[in-house]
Amino acid sequence: MSIVPLTELGNPLLRQPSTPFSDPTSPEVARVLANMRDTLHAYRAQTGYGRAISAPQIGVLKRLIYIDTADTTLELVNPRFERWSRDEDERYESCFSFPGMWGLVQRPLSVVVVGWTSQGVEQRIEASGSLARIIQHEMDHLDGFVWLDRNPDLHSLCTTGEYEKRYTSR
């Protein structure tokens, strides 16, 4: 479809909760999903970063996530958490809604999320490790949060250059 400008930190849309689609198979879902996919791939080609995107990041306040990693390609329409683990860990995260900044974020190690595909197939995803973290990061966007809201230690903030120098071996 097309590459859409990213909604950046400071835009009030990033702080608003998203509403569900009434029909996961609607043409609107297909259009927004195509724009998200094109935008994510363009960002990744330009920067080398980007594994997932949520609809609010392209200015659409709807509950839709697209994930594209080396291991997984996943679309989640109207996702919701079913459960998450009590065990947590802390890892560095970044976001292309405010590029160039990294910080430590504590999150549950595993999650179970339920949602739909754009073909109307219900899916239940049991995720751990980096996929669980990606899902939680994108779900935060759907609820009007960004990773900075989950970062109690502002001393961990760093630029992409510093992150790459110090932590890429982590």
Task: List, in sequence order, the alpha helices (H) in the chain.
Answer: 27-47, 129-142, 160-167
Count Cβ atoms below 10 Å from residue 4 Cβ, excluding itself. Answer: 18
* Through-space distance between the first and last CA atoms of the chain, rounded to whole angstroms: 36
Catalytic positions are 138
pLDDT at 48 over 70: yes
The pLDDT value given to residue 150: 87
Mean pLDDT of 92-119: 95
pLDDT at 170 over 50: no
CATH of domain 12-87+111-145: 3.90.45.10
Give the torsion through C-alpha atoms of 159, 46, 165, 66, to 10 deg: 70
pLDDT tens readout for residues 153-166: 888 888 999 998 88
Q: Which of 47-51, 97-101, 129-133, 153-157 has the lowest mean pLDDT?
A: 153-157
The pLDDT value given to residue 169: 58
